[in-house]
Every structure is written in C-alpha cells, then in structure tokens.
Chains A and B, each alone.
Chain A
C-alpha cells in the first residue's frame, strides 16, 4: 500500500525535493530564493502556455520520457528486483535521446550524445551498487534490504561513495551537468520542448530525484533513521558540490567514473566477498 502511494505521489515528492533544492541552493549563495512551491507554480504556468512543437514525434517522446520514468519508479517500488528497475531506467533514456536526435537543432543532438556518455558513466556503478546490496543482504528485493539487521552502509562505505559520485551524473548537477550544460548547449535534450511538452520532461526529472535518493535511502537498511539521515546528508552534499564546482568536460566525467568510482565499488565488493562475512 505504502509502495503504491509512494509511486503515485512520486512526481509530487520529486517536485517538493526540487523546490527544497532551489531554496537550499539560494541560501548557500546568500539569496532568499523562490518559494518552496515554485516548481508547482511553474507547472501551472507551463500548462497554460500555448503548446508548440518542432514535430509530433519529438513532442511525443517528451511525454513518453515522463511515462517511462514514472513506470520505472513503479517497477522499483512494486517489483521485487532492483536490477530490473535499473534496466527500466534505460527505456526512459532511450525516449529522451531518440527524441533529441530527431530534431534538426545541433544543441539537441549534442545533448543527446552527451546523455549517452552519462549513461556509460553511471550505469555500471549503479549495477555494482545493486550487486553489493545483494552481497550484504542476499536479495535483490528492496523490502529485504530495508528489513536487514545490518546497516549496509557499514559494510559498503566505498560503494556508497561511488554512488554519491554518480548522483551528479544522474541528476545533471555540476560538475557533471554535461548533457544539459545551460551556458553551452542550452539545455541539451530539453531545449526544443516547450509548454506542456516541456512540463512532461521537467516532471520526469523530478521522478528521477525520488528514484536516485531512494537508492541512497536503502543504505540505511532497517534503520530508517540512518537512511533518512543519509538522504539529507547526500542531498546537502550534492547541493554544495553543485554550487561550488565548475562544469568538467565529458572525458573527465568518463575517467572519473571509470578509473575512480568503479574501482572503488569493485574493491569494496572484492574485500567483502573474499572476507566471507556476507
């Protein structure tokens, strides 16, 4: 029941998280920032705008991106295998990138290609995280992970660091907001969407927030307090990093993911598995 409600309200929760993010970010920059409900005001305003599009296929892909992200969320919450949920996420990436490829704008196409580089960077780490959970709790089911006696974080500190390292890539935060890169390619895959169609992509991104921070929450195991604490800590950390770093280029992102984050996760899994205390 909780899972169904959580899935249904995922866009709203994500919207709130985005609202909080904007406030927190503003406070970090000594601004007051927009009201907490600003994302929802934006939502209403965008829905009222005159719908415009480049062509129907492109506009439709925006909607499919939203639906498939939401569906991936449902798979995460209602299914019993985290791996499947991780693979479902690729469908939404497919919709987004195919849509972005289909317009004649250079910015959009470049954004789509960079989005694929993002995928190459974070996907192996996410799967290693899921495998590490399996190693600790013996299950791919998040319910089992949430009822495990141990706190997974204590056994998987390096895996946790690897996950935190990939969150900026997943959510397009600086220093890895390469696919969006507002000053450079003006939003990348998002650029050609407007009005209600942009709203769909925008809301899809909110759901990604919930999706990602749910993975962080799992590191608390049955101790929900630790899980919650981790989410808050990670959230603030990501915001601080986002505020204080400049954008890197895609090569650096790829190198960071492949030569630092993946080895970290692998080392952790190696020692845990060979130590035999799983």
Chain B
C-alpha cells in the first residue's frame, strides 16, 4: 500500500516532466488519459485499504525537502526582484528567516511524516476523478490559439501530484513546503500567458499566498516552543488544555488565505486571466481545497473554542458577501470564482463547527463542489473557445446555438444549489445541525448566514441561467459541433453527478460517513434503502427522485419538448416594436460598499487571530 501512496504522489509529477520534455502530442494525450484510470484506481485501492497508514521516510527526504524549501524561497525572492515587487521579496525574506528558526528549533521526532487516512484517500479520489479530466480537457483546449501546450498540460498534471502530496503530509514543516509549492504552481499557471495582466495577477497570488506561508511558519514556531510537536497527529493527540490556541489560530489564517476568503479573495479572481483549465483545476480538486482540508484536520481541536465561533462568523460572512458580490459580475468566470469563494466559506463554516454532522457536511461540500465547479469551468472554457463568449450578457440564444454546452452548464448550476444535489444536502444539514445549538448566539447567526447565502446563490444561478436562456432576435453565435474530447469530459462529469445524486443516500451515509467518523465521531446519518435519514428527519427517495425528475425535465426541456398542435404567437409588447431588450440587473449599488465590506472582513480576520488565537 505504501508503494501505491508514493506512486500516486510521484507518478503525476513524473508524467508532467515527461510531457514537458517530450513536447509531443501523442505523449501528452496518452499520458494524461492514462492518469485517469491510474490515479482514480490507485485512489480507490488506497481508500479500500486498512487505513490510516503511517509511512516513515528516510532522513534524506527531510533534508531534501528543507533544501527544496530554501530553494523555493530563494526563487520567490528572485521573482520579487525581477518583478520589482517589494512585498514579494520582503515576505520571502521573512519566511527565509522564520524557516531558519524553525529548522534550528525543531526537535527530532520519531513520528511518521506521511499520514494517510480516509480523508486523504478521498482527496486522492477527487484528484483522480475530477482533476485528471481537466488535464485531458486542457490538452485539447490548448490547441485553440494558445502556446506552449505541452508545458501547460505538464504543469497541470504535475500539480495533481503536488496536491496528492499536500493532503498526505503529517509533518507541518513539510506541509509548509507543499503549501509553497502549490503557490508556485498557481503562480506559474496564472502567469502562463505572460502578458502584463497575467504577470500582475500572478504576483498578487504570490504575495497573498506567502502571507499564508508566514502564518504557517509562525504557527510552527509557537507549536514547537510551547508543545514540542510539529506533526498533525501529535497535535491531535495532545490534551486540549495543553494546546496553544495561537498556533492553531495562525494555521487557520493560512487556511483562510489559501481558501481565498475576503479580504484575500483577489488572487483567486485574478486567476481568471489564465487559460480556463487553470481556473478549473484551482477551483475544483486542488489548491483552494487545501483550505477546508486543513481546517478538517484541525477541527477536533477547534471545536467548541472561541476560535471556532470566530471562524464561523468570518467564513459565514464571506459565504453571504461573496454570493452578493457574484451578483454584480458579468464575466462568467468571475461569477464562478465568487461562487467558489462563497462555497469555500460554507465548507470552512462546517469544518469549524466540528460536530460529527458538520464535518460530514464539509466533506460532502468538498466533493460536490469539486465536481460541479470543475464541470462549470470546463464548459466555460468550451464557450470561450468555440463561441468566444465570456460575458453572460452576450450569451443570447445559446440554448439553440450551443444546446449541449448549455445543457451541461444548466445541470452543473442545478447541482450547486437545488434539492436533491449534494450542495443542498450540505446547506440543509448545516441548518438542522445549527438548530440544535441555538442557545449559542453564533449559531443563530450561522442559520441566518447559511440561509441568506444559500438564497443569494440560488438567485445568482437562476439569474445567470435566465440571461443565458433569453431569446433575443439576433445572435452573434453560430452552432459549432463539440470536439470529442470536450464531449467526453462533459459527459464524464455529468454521469458522475447524476449517478451519485441518485444514490446520494448511501453515498453520504456510507462513503462520507466513513470518512467523517475518524475525525469527529459517528454522525447520526444513515441510509434507509435510498432514503437519507438524519436524526429524526428523512429525505425520502421519492422526494429525491421527484426533485431529480423535475429538474432534469426543466434543464432538458428546451431540447425535446415540442408542442406540435399549439399555435404560436408573438409576445405582448403593448403595441410597440421591439427596440429595447430587457437586460438583467447587476446589483451595481453593492460595489459602493465594497471598501467597507473589505475593511469589515479584515477586522474579522484580525479578530480570528486575536480572540480566537487568544493573543489577548
């Protein structure tokens, strides 16, 4: 089993390098297609094995990783010099110094450096099933007027390996290394097109993520000084009284930065200047998912503390505000980015609550958000390349011009909010769970935040769908048949989402329940046949099936519903000719408050650290 784990980390990285050097279409295609069965298969085998697995690594690996760390920081310093960014350079220097202190202070520890539990195995599966198709998609996408195809696909595939590594480390020093490596990968990918905007945005991503790195290092210093441990498992084994909350507070800050929570959301928005597969990979299976993953690792420590309540308020606030911001946007990729930020907030809310059900909710959201967001960004890429449509206000008549793409987008949007899909289950369980703790004020607010955030997201998706479905008289688009690769990726996601949703009750009760149980204990969730039972409440299968049939009817109706014998007429327009078109609203007035909201978010951030980390 150890071999499989090492392979799922090393194999994608090797494949990435091979693509990089071979620069051959066949190699790129075959390798990226090969990764799909390999990574998901290995993920499944690891998942079914006897977990958790600890792997002791030779000292040389540790030395190598520390060397790599210093090398990486030196590279960041050089990037800061090259791009004339004082901030990047300064942060690199600070990290350099802090890292020296950490390496100097760190005691020798016999704890295994690699730790693979069910949660890690699930992330392997997610990377395999959701992440690899994006690489396959990228191989075709880059054929459309883009340069350096092989380099791009190689980095994307290698990134998957880094992600696999990130979720399996136990040593927090190593975690810092992979944290910075994912930063590096995102910087390269965001700046891939090399124009000024791309470089600026990648610099932004660099310094913002470096703040996360500084936070991890500070937390490491505190941890080693006060508790003498620097492994996740050692940390979890400690008594709650002996834990310095400040260390955990700093780690949470790192999670919030990586998860692009306000006010650090700009770097994820900046990622949209890169080729679309970059957004797909950052948003779905990798990178931002480190944030809820890290909080899930820590959630047994956080649960019930003041830090937990502060995190609930901060991320819950982001859940609502990011959803409202998304309403002001017109660019499809920006809308998707804001909705990712918002849903990441919900995942972290759930992880911070830390009760068995809440932990299960967080995992459910990670899985379903990964699928749906990967799907949506892939289809956004299709729209961009085949139809040259980037703004939703341009997307007129797409229903007839791009029926299949619209069908996919429609389905993915439904997945993001409606009953009976996973994201809905997450919201629903969160409200039910919070209802049990109403005597605590933060949980009343939690219900309000989850509800309103959910409503705003529903409105957002309905609005986007409505605008895309609008019938204008003229359309600038021509029907373009979809290449087979794009079709395959679309159908792949579609089928997975559909099948999981039909069997959602056993999926959540058995699969997710099994993952959540070691973290926070057994959640009162079980499957009765295909019905989902949670405590006293039941989501019956007839409800799941009914909702699914209704939604499938709604989203596929444009393709097959044709009333033959009914007469057609023009819409009523009060006797006027059609000179005007009703556009959709853009909630522009909210941008007025953006500064205030940002400063409020900064305040919350500091409160997380000061109150939650008990620095006072």
Contact = CB atoms under 8 A, between A and B. Distances in A.
Nearest to B573: A105
Contacts of A274: 439, 441
Contact of B572 (A105, A110, A116, A119): A105
Given A57-B558, A98-B469, A269 B444 contact: yes
Given A54-B569, A81-B537, A103 B459 contact: no
Contacts of B462: 93-94, 97-98, 116
A57 B472 contact: no
Residue in A116, A119, A128 whose Cβ sees the most chain B Cβ within 10 Å: A116
Interface stretch (B144-152, B545-553, B604-612): B545-553
Contacts of B439: 273-274, 276
Interface in A76-118: 79-81, 83-84, 87-88, 90-91, 93-95, 97-98, 100-110, 112-113, 116
Contact of B448 (A84, A94, A124): A124
B595 interface: no
Contact of A50 (B418, B467, B536, B567): B567
A166 B47 CA distance: 48
Nearest to B571: A105
Interface residues of A, number: 68
A98 B428 contact: no
Interface in B369-406: 399
A83 B433 CA distance: 12
A278 B582 CA distance: 50
Nearest to B564: A56
A95 B606 CA distance: 43
Interface centre among A55, A68, A192 (most CB of B within 10 A): A55
A64 B553 contact: yes
Interface in A258-274: 262, 266, 269-270, 273-274
Contacts of B451: 123-124, 127-128
Nearest to A85: B543
B570 A59 contact: no
Given A54-B571, A276-B439, A91 B418 contact: yes
Interface stretch (A26-34, A133-141, A211-219, A221-229): A133-141
Interface in A220-278: 262, 266, 269-270, 273-274, 276, 278
Contact of A103 (B563, B565, B571, B585): B571
Contacts of A47: none
Interface string B420-455: 000010011001100100110100100110011001
Interface in A164-191: 186, 191
A81 to B, nearest CB: 4
Which of B424, B435, B547 has the most A CB atoms < 10 Å from its CB?
B435
Given A81-B537, A131-B431, A273-B444, A95 B554 contact: yes
Contacts of B49: none
A131 B467 CA distance: 34
B456 A120 contact: yes
A273 B445 CA distance: 13
B539 A81 contact: yes
Interface in B518-552: 536-540, 543, 546-547, 550-551
A262 B444 CA distance: 12
Contacts of B463: 113, 116
Contact of B554 (A56, A61, A135, A278): A61
Nearest to B565: A51
B432 A79 contact: no
A270 B498 CA distance: 40
B108 interface: no
A152 to B, nearest CB: 15
B435 A134 contact: yes
A52 B569 contact: yes
B557 interface: yes
Interface residues of B, number: 65
A276 B458 CA distance: 34
B572 A186 contact: yes
A55 B582 contact: no
A51 B566 contact: yes
B580 interface: yes
Contacts of A52: 566-569
B459 A116 contact: yes
Contact of B581 (A75, A91, A106): A106
Given A94-B554, A104-B578, A127-B431, A59 B571 contact: no
B469 A101 contact: yes
Interface string B573-593: 110001011101100000000
A67 B551 CA distance: 12
Contacts of B140: none
Interface in B117-171: none
Contacts of B550: 64, 67-68, 71, 91, 95
Contacts of B569: 52-54
A92 to B, nearest CB: 9
Nearest to A75: B543
Contact of A128 (B448, B538, B557): B448
A213 B567 CA distance: 38
Nearest to A258: B452
Contact of B438 (A123, A141, A273): A273
Nearest to A105: B571
Contacts of A55: 471, 568
A9 to B, nearest CB: 19
A124 B455 contact: yes
Contact of A104 (B547, B558, B571, B585): B571
B562 interface: yes
A60 interface: yes
B419 interface: yes
Contacts of A88: 419, 543, 547
Contact of A64 (B435, B469, B554): B554
B470 interface: yes
B585 A113 contact: yes
Contacts of B568: 52-55
28 contacts: A50-B567, A56-B563, A57-B558, A60-B557, A75-B546, A81-B538, A84-B537, A87-B428, A90-B419, A91-B550, A98-B469, A101-B465, A101-B466, A101-B467, A102-B469, A102-B471, A105-B572, A119-B459, A124-B455, A127-B431, A131-B435, A135-B438, A140-B537, A186-B572, A266-B444, A269-B444, A274-B439, A276-B439
Given A64-B553, A83-B537, A113-B463, 20 more contacts: A51-B563, A52-B567, A54-B571, A57-B557, A60-B557, A67-B550, A71-B547, A74-B546, A81-B537, A84-B419, A91-B547, A93-B462, A94-B551, A106-B573, A107-B573, A119-B459, A134-B435, A140-B537, A273-B439, A278-B438
Query: Top 10 A-B pairs ranked by shortest CB distance?
Result: A101-B466, A105-B571, A273-B438, A81-B537, A109-B582, A106-B582, A60-B561, A127-B451, A123-B455, A51-B566
Interface of B: 399, 417-419, 424, 427-428, 431-432, 435, 438-439, 441, 444, 447-448, 451-452, 455-456, 458-459, 462-463, 465-467, 469-473, 536-540, 543, 546-547, 550-551, 553-554, 557-558, 561-563, 565-574, 578, 580-582, 584-585
